[in-house]
Amino acid sequence: MKIKRALLALSLAAAVGGNAVAQPIKVGELNSYKRFPAFLEPYKKGWQLALEEINTAGGVDGRKLEVVSRDDGGNPGDAVRVADELIARDKVSMLMGEFASNIGLAVSSLAKQRKIVFVAAEPLTDKLVWGDGNRYTFRLRPSTYMQVAMLVPEAVKLKKMRWALVYPNYEYGQSAAASFKKLMTAAQPGIRIVAEQAPPLGKIDAGAVVQALQDAKPDAIFSALFAADLQKFVREGSLRGLFKGRPVFNLLGGEPEYLDPLKDETPEGWWVTGYPWRQIETPAHKKFLAAYEKRWHDYPRMGSVVGYATMYSVADALKKARSTDSDALIAALEGLEVQTPFGPIVYRAVDHQSTMGAYVGQLAKKNGKGVMVNWHYADGNSFLPPPAEARALRGQ
């Protein structure tokens, strides 16, 4: 009898104790860390910082948040295997991450098939939420279309008629150019595209491209180049005098990842989308900046903000859903408001796109470094199509 009672007490204690140290909630994270390290190392630091903050503040409903992070091998086939393993082996409740558009789309398709929520951090393709959007996929960053739309009002103000386009030859560049043409023609009928150069990604023949653009005698230039292509284009273009008297608009050109390598060759006056981290004085950003610099002894890049905001989106969704069930999570994410270093954002119910924006401004040189001046925050919400149109884009 006594023994029985003792056993009962023991098992009760075990049950209570088990509740006190509740199982952590597992989130699967995957990205092409070794293929795109320039963007993704800061990204990883961003979500790690957010994760530490969340868990220090008590986690989600008293449960710790645990992120199982994996390299996706840098191609869609391996990424799908890794994601599927995160689901089957690590039993994660949600997926987050991804950088390249083709890999992001492949994982979003798996998310739909396995009925698990996927918060895409970085992939820019419009298709992720529109043409190929699905119920289980949400996306944080402003898409290619949105970022182009943010630049267009400034481009229209200049009243230039002859435009030259240069963009990396893959979906991001192609759709950036297509959106630019469409939006510009609507805002300023009669503009002419006098040259269009689409060098292979990472392999721009900068001298020849600059020369070809010059020969077309454009009034202004729209570029979607980034990383090494952008650096080569800037150097050749300045050397050969392409930018003299010609305004240039460059998508993503103000992101520290792509701006910082230019150092004292930063082309002044270019209009760009980016992240002027030194100068954003909002309380939300100052708090983030201080925490990031304290934790990593480094300044944040665009990727840092993306990683940080993605992690908070996931945590807030789990908090609001009070469950790890996919349907509950979808309901929670639709219309979810998240506090980010850029201010509050909302995941739209209609197309699962967040209203995170980007900073639009001009490039300048300061102490041999590139900075953004003259900038303003372009709220994503103002550059998204209205719900009815978005629904049509999703084929609903």
- Provide, rounded to whole angstroms, the least separation between the CB of residue 58 and another protein: 30
Q: How do strand 220-223 and strand 271-274 relate by DSSP bridges? A: unpaired
- Taking the C-alpha atoms of residue 384 and residue 145, their distance in angstroms, rounded to an integer, is 9
Whether 272 contacts 359, CB under 8 Å: no
Q: Closest CB to another protein among 104 and 357?
A: 104
Residue 325's SS3 state is: coil
Q: Which stretch binds another protein (CB under 8 A): 8-16, 50-58, 239-247, 275-283?
A: 239-247
Size of the site for another protein (CB under 8 A): 68
Instruction: Based on the shown chain and the rule CB under 8 A, indicate whether residue 88 belongs to the binding site for another protein.
Output: yes
- Provide, rounded to whole angstroms, the least separation between the CB of residue 39 and another protein: 8
Q: Which stretch binds another protein (CB under 8 A): 52-60, 153-161, 183-191, 232-240?
A: 232-240
- Taking the C-alpha atoms of residue 323 and residue 325, their distance in angstroms, rounded to an integer, is 5
- Provide, rounded to whole angstroms, the least separation between the CB of residue 118 and another protein: 13
Residues 20-59 that bind another protein (CB under 8 A): 34, 37-38, 40-41
Instruction: Based on the shown chain and the rule CB under 8 A, indicate whether residue 106 belongs to the binding site for another protein.
Output: yes
Partners of 137 in the beta sheet? 118
Q: Which stretch binds another protein (CB under 8 A): 17-25, 106-114, 145-153, 378-386?
A: 106-114
Minimal CA–CA distance to 72: which of 97, 43, 42? 97
Residues 160-219 that bind another protein (CB under 8 A): 169-171, 174, 195-200, 202-203, 205-209, 211-212, 214-216
Work out whether the CA dihedral 228, 233, 238, 243 comes out positive or negative. Answer: negative
**CB-based contacts of 348: which residues, under 8 Å, 6+ apart?**
334, 335, 354, 355, 384, 387, 390
Instruction: Based on the shown chain and the rule CB under 8 A, indicate whether residue 66 belongs to the binding site for another protein.
Output: no
Instruction: Based on the shown chain and the rule CB under 8 A, indicate whether residue 236 belongs to the binding site for another protein.
Output: yes
Instruction: Based on the shown chain and the rule CB under 8 A, indicate whether residue 139 belongs to the binding site for another protein.
Output: no
Whether 104 contacts 306, CB under 8 Å: no
Q: Closest CB to another protein among 37 and 58?
A: 37
Helices (H), the chain: 2-20, 37-56, 76-88, 101-114, 144-157, 171-187, 206-215, 227-239, 256-259, 283-296, 302-321, 326-333, 387-393
Q: Which residues bind another protein (CB under 8 A)?
A: 34, 37-38, 40-41, 70-71, 73, 75-78, 80-82, 84-85, 88-89, 101-102, 105-106, 108-110, 112-113, 125, 127, 132, 169-171, 174, 195-200, 202-203, 205-209, 211-212, 214-216, 227-228, 231-232, 235-236, 239-241, 257, 260-263, 265
